[in-house]
């Protein structure tokens, strides 16, 4: 099949990550290799930029700038969360026609997959030749039909180091601040929270307890868990997901009564750690503090996983190659190859199977008690975060004999 001559446009959507720009760099670098692609345009703030005809000429960027994108956090083109109306889709297609855009690459999560799927379907109905490919991106790791999502391994590495550091802080000051609750991102799934288990070097290291939204939060069991660890160690480090839900399916943080929603109707969460600290202080009479890293956990490039960065670039490159080959209505997926050493290949999955679907943390990755993860999960995540975490010194507790009675 002869490649269709025309322009390419790429956009970024949803929450930025440490490696989303690596995917953008992969798209641009691959597009430059294809004679069928004339202009290479970037949408400012995702699909909203397309609707406003706010496009950036990416061919005018230096090769050094594009290469440096791989190590640049956040979304260089700007991102958005915008649910398109019927009129918006029609406007988007008119803009694409006006600029002779034949290749549409959208980097984002399941809502972005839905946008891409609908746009591809409209172009087909209107008999406009447009090749649409989605590039996976989400720190939540909740896209179906892919082993994992670019962006997640980097937040996993960042949290592993950060929780290890927080654990040392709590051990040092544990005679005063005895309980620490660390709240991670994750609206509907606990993949990010689960990754905090990587902080452990030895048996008994923090986090001592891990709570995911895939298991209902049970107040009495939670308090009993904390009491048990506290009696044994004198201090407790807990990691919890912001999307933690109780047995009625309601967000634990909803007791704040100020949970907002975004343009897709998704709850904008945060605050569960404060709720839990109040519960601990009230019921167990133990001082509890919380750490809430917030959005910094998803974009920090200092601890970005090299595996993640490489795969993010590769999915961008593959999206362009598949589009030029005439594929449309697909998302690039990551496939884990069998064997003792981690290797991945890339494939395609229909966007309609990804759109608006959510992959939960499976049962085999969650401890039966619901307050930890399993060895199977650790085998899944460890190869994705890159080299071993920094090793810290530990003083041997060699006592000096007392001289006073």
3-state SS string over 358-384?
Answer: CCCCCHHHECCCCCCECHHHHHHHHHH
Return the CA Rg of the chain.
23
Which helix (H) or strand (E) covers residue 219, if one does? helix 219-233
- Residue 310 has φ and ψ, to the nearest 5°, of -65, -45
Assess contact for 274 and 290: CB atoms under 8 A.
yes
Assess contact for 192 and 155: CB atoms under 8 A.
yes
- How crowded is residue 266: how many other Cβ atoms within 10 Å of its Cβ? 13
What are residue 42's DSSP bridge partners? 10, 56
Q: Catalytic one among 111, 114, 140, 372?
A: 140
* Residue closest to 316 by CA, chosen among 110, 45, 19: 19
Assess contact for 272 and 240: CB atoms under 8 A.
yes
Token duo for residue 118: 């609908």
Rounded to whole angstroms, the Cα distance separating 332 from 273 reads 36
Rounded to whole angstroms, the Cα distance separating 369 from 160 reads 22
User: Dihedral through CA 305, CA 309, CA 310, CA 314, nearest 10?
Assistant: 150
- Would residue 38 show up in a list of annotated catalytic residues for this protein? no
Dihedral over Cα of 134, 37, 43, 92: its sign: negative
Rounded to whole angstroms, the Cα distance separating 65 from 61 reads 6
Q: Which is it for strands 267-268 and 260-261: parallel, antiparallel or unpaired?
A: antiparallel
Catalytic positions, please? Answer: 140
């Amino acid at each position: 099949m002869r490649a269709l001559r025309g322009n390419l446009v790429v956009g970024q959507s949803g929450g930025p990550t440490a490696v989303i720009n690596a995917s953008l760099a992969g798209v641009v670098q691959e597009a430059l290799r294809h004679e069928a692609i004339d202009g290479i345009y970037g949408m400012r703030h995702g699909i909203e930029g397309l609707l406003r005809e706010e496009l950036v000429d990416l061919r005018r960027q230096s090769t050094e700038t594009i290469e440096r994108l791989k190590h640049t956090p956040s979304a260089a083109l700007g991102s958005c969360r915008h649910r398109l109306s019927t009129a918006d889709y029609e406007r988007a297609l008119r803009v694409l026609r006006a600029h002779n855009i034949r290749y549409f690459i959208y980097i984002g999560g399941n809502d972005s997959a839905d946008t891409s799927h609908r746009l591809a379907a409209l172009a087909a109905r209107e008999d406009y030749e447009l090749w649409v490919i989605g590039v996976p991106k989400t720190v939540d790791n909740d896209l179906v039909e892919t082993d994992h999502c670019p962006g997640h391994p980097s937040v996993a590495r960042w949290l592993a180091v950060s929780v290890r550091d927080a654990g040392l802080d709590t051990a040092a000051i544990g005679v005063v601040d005895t309980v620490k609750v660390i709240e991670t991102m994750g609206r509907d799934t606990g993949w990010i929270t689960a990754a905090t288990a990587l902080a452990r070097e030895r048996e008994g290291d923090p986090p001592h307890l891990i709570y995911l939204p895939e298991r209902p939060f049970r107040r009495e069991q939670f308090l009993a868990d904390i009491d048990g660890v506290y009696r044994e160690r004198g201090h407790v480090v807990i990691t919890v997901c912001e999307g933690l839900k109780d047995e009625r399916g309601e967000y634990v943080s909803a007791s704040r009564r100020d949970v907002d929603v975004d343009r897709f109707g998704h709850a904008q969460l945060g605050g569960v750690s404060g709720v839990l600290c109040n519960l601990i202080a009230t019921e167990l009479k133990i001082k509890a503090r919380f750490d809430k890293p917030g959005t910094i956990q998803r974009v920090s490039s200092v601890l970005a996983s090299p595996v993640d960065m490489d795969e993010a670039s590769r999915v961008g490159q593959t999206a362009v190659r598949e589009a030029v080959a005439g594929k449309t209505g697909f998302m690039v997926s990551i496939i884990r190859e069998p064997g003792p050493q981690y290797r991945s290949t890339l494939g395609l999955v229909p966007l309609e199977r990804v759109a608006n679907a959510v992959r939960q943390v499976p049962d085999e990755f969650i401890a039966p008690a619901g307050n930890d993860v399993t060895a199977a999960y650790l085998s899944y995540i460890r190869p994705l975060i890159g080299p071993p975490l920094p090793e810290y010194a530990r003083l041997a507790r060699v006592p000096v004999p007392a001289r006073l009675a």
